[in-house]
Structure 1
Amino acid sequence: MRFLIIIPAHNEEENLPFTLDSLQQQRFKDFKTVIVNDGSTDQTAEVIRKYKETDSRFETVDLEKSTHQPGSKVVHAFKSGLKTRNTDEFDIICKFDADIILPENYLETLEQAFTHNPEYGLVGGLLYVEKEGSWVYEGNSNKHHVRGPLKAYRKECFEQIGGLRETLGWDNIDSILLENLDWKEVVIPELHVKLIKVKGADYTIRPADYYGRYFYFLGLNRLMAYIASSKEAAKAGSVPFFFKIISAYESCKTNKLELKISKEEQKSINDKRWKMLKKKWLKM
């Protein structure tokens, strides 16, 4: 199998070398990498140039700085990189972040998983972050969900779900749509991927406006959005937080902001959420 790896990068001069070094150290060698320099103002372009000069598997695309919109910006950069390659030449399409460190057997293990399991549509490992000198499981999602920084899709699956959507919630939309098409999303827990973060940053804390917009662009109907909002408010231990999330969600609905999913896909997403709710909370 051949891998096409797209890495969006904005001002990643400090982190990107770790990611690219870990790719060069992979035991599996048959891959091409396109690094999308999304309007960086630091030395990211210079970092990329050094790798391009010594390794033909690395290429780059330079973009003007795009407006930051959570979710859409990174997918826009990813798509810009994807357009530069003929996907017919590849079997696996990866969207990796520019601040991860892959174990040397990462691509090798993915290749074996895809080869021996034709039903696998999306495969990845688990993210680990540094805490007090040790690398610990990030815990920002359940262990059955392949996180945004390390997505690897079978090309046929990727095409069937219509690629990635330029919207908040894209990395959950893909999971739901592929499962609806009878593909499997699989996490290989022994694959520990290090995620480089600013020390002290807590990425699990999100403002209410973020959640409200996220639930809207994910396509949740009002009932499912309210249930999801109550869950986040309970985690935060704040009743006002619930009403702030709902206010942001309702604002999106009032303004009829464009969704990047069809009515049929929206229904699939809500049906999936409802089934998960019944299984987890209602024991049905």
Structure 2
Amino acid sequence: MNIYIIIPAHNEEDCIALMLESLVNQTLLPKKVVVVNDHSTDNTQLIIDGFSSKNNWLESISIQSSKEHIPGSKVINAFYKGFETLDKNYDIICKFDADIILPKNYLESLVALFNTDSKVGIAGGLAYINKGNQWIYETIASKNHVRGPFKAYRKECFQDIGGLKASIGWDSMDVMLAQYYGWVVKTDKLLKVKHLKPTGKTYHKSSKYLQGEALYKMRSGLPLTILSALKSAISKRSFLYFKNTVLGYIKSKNKNIEPLVTVEQGKFIRKLRWEGVRKKIKI
């Protein structure tokens, strides 16, 4: 299988050498890697150049986008700048972050996951963060969910879902759309990916309403939005998070923002999410 990887990067001099080193040391090397240097003002490009000069499958491009880390849109827009430089001869397309360290067998294990079933459309490992000098599971998602920092897609699945949406919540929307089109999402729980920057660490304060906006864009409906916001608020111990998420949904509805999924897709997503709620409360 031909594996193509796109890595958006913005001021990642503290992490990207570790990430690229973990790629160079893979038991199965990728066919092509494009690092998209998005307006970095530190030594990110110098580090990338050091790796690309020694590995002919690795290259980089530089773009100038917004300096603000707006969840979803910034990273996906950078992803597509890299995607535009690639040919279509891939079997697996990956969107990786610059702040992760992959286990040596990550790409080889990805291929094994895809080979277990021709309907596996999205695959990956699990994220671990450093707390007290111990790498512990980053408990913001189910262990059956493939996280955004190290996501891999079978080409046909990627095409079916219409690629990645430039919005916060893209890495939930893609999974649900994949299931809508009959694809399977699979994780290898033995693949422990070190996530050097915990999720949300670099988000700008202006993003506080975007989670609610994302739920509106995927046609979640207000009841599911309230439940989702409540669950996350309890986890974060923040009533303000709950308030802002619900307000973000309402503001989006009042502005009549265009959803990112069709009516039928939205119906499927709501059904899928309600089934998840019922399973958790054992109805």
Q: TM-score, normalised by structure 2?
A: 0.91
Say whether 1:228 aligns with 2:224: no
| Cα distance in 2 for residues equivalent to 1:47 and 1:238 | 38
> CA 1:235 to 1:101, structure 2 compared with 1: closer, same or farther past 3 Å?
closer
| Cα distance in 2 for residues equivalent to 1:240 and 1:51 | 43
CA contact (8 A) 2:10 2:37 kept: yes
2:138 corresponds in structure 1 to 138
| Cα distance in 2 for residues equivalent to 1:181 and 1:64 | 35
CA contact (8 A) 1:123 1:152 kept: yes
Partner amino acid, structure 2, of 1:165: K
> CA 1:202 to 1:141, structure 2 compared with 1: closer, same or farther past 3 Å?
farther
Partner amino acid, structure 1, of 2:196: I
Partner amino acid, structure 1, of 2:87: N
Residues 1-284 of structure 1: pairs in structure 2 closer than 5 A:
1-66=1-66, 68=68, 69-87=70-88, 89-197=89-197, 209-235=209-235, 242-281=242-281, 283-284=282-283
> CA 1:127 to 1:208, structure 2 compared with 1: closer, same or farther past 3 Å?
same
CA contact (8 A) 1:40 1:65 kept: no
Return the offset for 1:214: 3.4
| Cα distance in 2 for residues equivalent to 1:77 and 1:240 | 30
> CA 1:119 to 1:237, structure 2 compared with 1: closer, same or farther past 3 Å?
same
Unaligned runs of 5+ in 1: none
| Cα distance in 2 for residues equivalent to 1:236 and 1:58 | 38
| Cα distance in 2 for residues equivalent to 1:63 and 1:208 | 26
| Cα distance in 2 for residues equivalent to 1:279 and 1:164 | 28
| Cα distance in 2 for residues equivalent to 1:233 and 1:105 | 36
Return the offset for 1:233: 4.0
Give the stretch that moved more between structures: 118-127 or 263-272.
263-272
Return the offset for 1:251: 1.1
| Cα distance in 1 for residues equivalent to 2:240 and 2:73 | 28
Return the offset for 1:208: 5.7
Partner amino acid, structure 1, of 2:154: R
> CA 1:29 to 1:240, structure 2 compared with 1: closer, same or farther past 3 Å?
closer
Return the offset for 1:202: 10
Partner amino acid, structure 1, of 2:193: V
Partner amino acid, structure 2, of 1:73: K
Partner amino acid, structure 1, of 2:10: H
Query: Secondary structure of the residue that 2:141 maps to in structure 1?
Result: coil
Query: Secondary structure of the residue that 1:5 maps to in structure 2?
Result: strand
Partner amino acid, structure 2, of 1:78: F
Return the offset for 1:126: 0.7
Question: Aligned pair count?
Answer: 278
Partner amino acid, structure 2, of 1:4: Y
Return the offset for 1:138: 1.3
Q: TM-score, normalised by structure 1?
A: 0.90
Partner amino acid, structure 2, of 1:71: G
| Cα distance in 1 for residues equivalent to 2:126 and 2:237 | 28
CA contact (8 A) 1:94 1:152 kept: yes
> CA 1:128 to 1:239, structure 2 compared with 1: closer, same or farther past 3 Å?
closer
| Cα distance in 1 for residues equivalent to 2:237 and 2:101 | 34
Give the stretch that moved more between structures: 66-75 or 157-166.
66-75
Return the offset for 1:239: 5.8
Determine what percentage of the aligned residue pairs are the same residue.
39
| Cα distance in 2 for residues equivalent to 1:183 and 1:66 | 34
| Cα distance in 2 for residues equivalent to 1:213 and 1:152 | 25
CA contact (8 A) 1:166 1:260 kept: no
| Cα distance in 2 for residues equivalent to 1:238 and 1:95 | 30
| Cα distance in 1 for residues equivalent to 2:177 and 2:128 | 26
> CA 1:239 to 1:79, structure 2 compared with 1: closer, same or farther past 3 Å?
closer
Return the offset for 1:179: 1.1
Unaligned runs of 5+ in 2: none
